[in-house]
Amino acid sequence: MIKYYVRVSTAEQKLDRQLLAYKGADIVYSDNISGKDKERPQLQNMLKDLKANDIVVVKSLDRLSRSTMDLLEIAQEIESKGATLKVIDKDIDTSTAIGKFFLTIIGAVAELERENILQRVKEGISIAKEQGKYKGRKKGSIELNGDSLERFKMFYNKGFNKTELSKEFGVPRATIYRWEKVLKERGEL
């Protein structure tokens, strides 16, 4: 069985480009969540559903993972179930030794590039702070109380995901995670 995994990081992004890139799948698994860790619902479902001789297809490695460690763990899990991984844009097929080798090398390069981007962003923020152009958000400036608190708990309990909650309350997803953590610690969720 051919299982096609697609992923976008934000609600604003579309899956169309990935879906048009491959049409031979028996089943498509799609996540709308960051690839920085492997705890993604549809990825986990796909890995759980894998059987011997299945083929997992992704358009590009970064759709599967942003971390070399996670990428190699996912590839190992696919292999341990007797399945193989094919990456469309790099023509990688882990049913071959050369495919396994290229997967490892390309995964390492992708992680290096991600780390370089993060470093450049940190450097840019540091320079902007020195020039007085970057102040950042005031700590505690986005608080949840009163009617907003009750509305948040209602939406949360109805199963709204982090992206939906972020849009509803007009705050970054990181704030939603912080609210969730605080409310769980207080026993309110």
List residues with catalytic annotation.
9
CB 87 within 8 A of CB 58: yes
CB 3 within 8 A of CB 54: yes
